[in-house]
Chain A
């Protein structure tokens, strides 16, 4: 279906935390503009996989290839320099800072003499927040004063602001209401038109079937299989997740 080269290729990824094997024999290609859902029960290793791709953990073995180039992803900075953005399950926002400082966390804009360019950061934040329809009181609001859904909105807005190739979303709608969930799903779908690959973790099979092109199932760190969404059904995925037929 996709003639372009994959944005991301994972091959034989394995990760163990001392004796605990969190991921083994994991291989997956993600193509530009493709949405891949990663599903599995609690503790299956989904978040760990995302942290491997984003550079938080180095894989114990296996290779990560981005646009044909094999990378040693040893730090989060490197992942970002490759155009990969992440919305972590535990968010990674600085709670006592403003929305706009979080939007530019670690990538603050400065003017000619090295001072923070707050004006531009604020106006860019406002523009983005408006585009994505994230309902926050203002770009000046402190993260701590926002609701869980609003925080999620900020984290997603930040990721879409910076992503060039790939976005990894770890349960992006777990904290959201109905309308907000629909909005996030819309945003995820809009990434397709920007040719950005998406890897999304979700426990909602409805959502997975609505959004994804392919579904990858993990069970206890093992890759059970990958299915084209159009060629499978919920029953099959559920039995793959649980191991019960």
Chain B
């Protein structure tokens, strides 16, 4: 006799149980933090529609980068360079836009992200340098580029079509930053979960040798995930520039830790083979909520950093424990 009572008889059921186990931690954490703030901050406006939607809006760039990070980590690599890619992309977009118009600016922003992703990807996939070291180096390198690009000056972004599209605008009554989040999550989830490419990303991160003898083009997958991550960090740069109506070298500087924490808490393994886009979304929102709640609680900036660090540490520890079994 082959399979014991098989789950396949009820795929919907088995799917639900698998998702629950896998992402249990992030949902519980999300709810716990939400309830805590809802109670503690009920007189400080945490629960207002305006504040909650603000959280989603402010989290948009983090969510977008987290999607890229899910692909990268699932493939067994890491991308630390997003921290400076955001600023390079935003500045490139702003400078180009002011000289040549909106379309050129958008192309420059995304193009900068793709270019950085290509540099990382080629070194990782074909020279076989560890992505941790390569992207640590490019993180520093492009932080320097971002500073020298405009001599530390902030560049205004005044094109109202651009700031509407990437920042303060809305469509059908829904803010554009929410549109970007929703579209990116749906596209990311579909590509990650439902295409051959997504399956190959997971196989590469799980067992690169097995993937390779199974005919999966492992180097191309490694290149692709780093380019995706770069492109999405470029998009995040555009979203910052659109919302703040300016680009500056400091954009995204502190996002790296937030993005990685959001993704890990969301059920993606640090060493590859397993990831979740939906988990990354919930993880990102959790980080955004944490930020927002701590500010509303009136903590000083240094206390916010300490508390956030501790909570992230706890969340990451719990979600990793869950996975180690």
In the complex, A93→B209 CA distance in Å? Answer: 9
- The 4 A-B residue pairs whose C-beta atoms are closest, nearest first, are A106-B214, A130-B2, A94-B206, A96-B273
With an 8 Å Cβ cutoff, the count of chain A residues facing the other chain is: 37
Verify B214–A105 contact, CB threshold 8 A: yes
State the Cβ distance, B1 to closest chain A Cβ, in Å.
7
Query: Is B133 in contact with chain A by the CB < 8 A criterion?
Result: no
Stretch from B122-130, B141-149, B195-203 that touches the partner: B195-203
Chain B residues in the interface with A (C-beta under 8 A) = 1-4, 6-8, 11, 14, 18, 190, 193-196, 198-200, 202-203, 206-207, 209-216, 269, 273-274
In the complex, A103→B18 CA distance in Å? Answer: 20
**Interface-central residue, A106, A130, A133, by most chain B CB under 10 Å:** A106
In the complex, A108→B200 CA distance in Å? Answer: 9
Verify A138–B7 contact, CB threshold 8 A: yes
B193: which A residues are within 8 A, CB to CB? 116
Verify B3–A139 contact, CB threshold 8 A: yes
- Residue contacts A-B, CB under 8 angstroms, 24 given: A92-B210, A97-B202, A105-B203, A105-B211, A105-B214, A105-B216, A106-B200, A106-B216, A108-B196, A108-B199, A110-B195, A110-B196, A122-B8, A126-B8, A130-B2, A133-B1, A135-B2, A135-B4, A136-B2, A137-B6, A138-B7, A138-B14, A140-B7, A140-B14
Checking A93, A106, A116, A138 against B3 with a beta-carbon cut-off of 8 angstroms, the contacting residue is A138
State the Cβ distance, A48 to closest chain B Cβ, in Å.
14
Verify B3–A76 contact, CB threshold 8 A: no
Taking A116-B198, A130-B3 as known contacts, 6 extra A-B pairs with beta carbons closer than 8 A to each other, sorted by chain A number, are: A76-B213, A96-B269, A97-B273, A114-B195, A122-B11, A138-B14
Checking B2, B211, B213 against A54 with a beta-carbon cut-off of 8 angstroms, the contacting residue is B213
Nearest opposing residue in chain A for B208, CB measure: A94
In the complex, A119→B14 CA distance in Å? Answer: 13
Given A106-B203, A106-B216, A107-B215: A139 and B210 interface contact (C-beta under 8 Å): no
Checking A95, A122, A139 against B206 with a beta-carbon cut-off of 8 angstroms, the contacting residue is A95
Query: Is A38 in contact with chain B by the CB < 8 A criterion?
Result: no
State the Cβ distance, B307 to closest chain A Cβ, in Å.
33
Contacting residues of chain A (42-57) with chain B, CB-CB under 8 angstroms: 54, 56
In the complex, A119→B198 CA distance in Å? Answer: 17
Task: Tell me the dominant secondary structure on chain A's binding face.
Answer: loop
State the Cβ distance, A149 to closest chain B Cβ, in Å.
14
State the Cβ distance, B145 to closest chain A Cβ, in Å.
37
Verify A92–B3 contact, CB threshold 8 A: no
In the complex, A232→B175 CA distance in Å? Answer: 81
Verify A140–B8 contact, CB threshold 8 A: yes
B200: which A residues are within 8 A, CB to CB? 106
Nearest opposing residue in chain B for A101, CB measure: B199
Verify A76–B195 contact, CB threshold 8 A: no
Nearest opposing residue in chain B for A80, CB measure: B215
Nearest opposing residue in chain A for B6, CB measure: A138
Given A96-B274, A106-B203: A76 and B214 interface contact (C-beta under 8 Å): yes
Query: Is A88 in contact with chain B by the CB < 8 A criterion?
Result: yes
B216: which A residues are within 8 A, CB to CB? 105-106
Verify A115–B190 contact, CB threshold 8 A: yes
Checking B190, B194, B209 against A92 with a beta-carbon cut-off of 8 angstroms, the contacting residue is B209
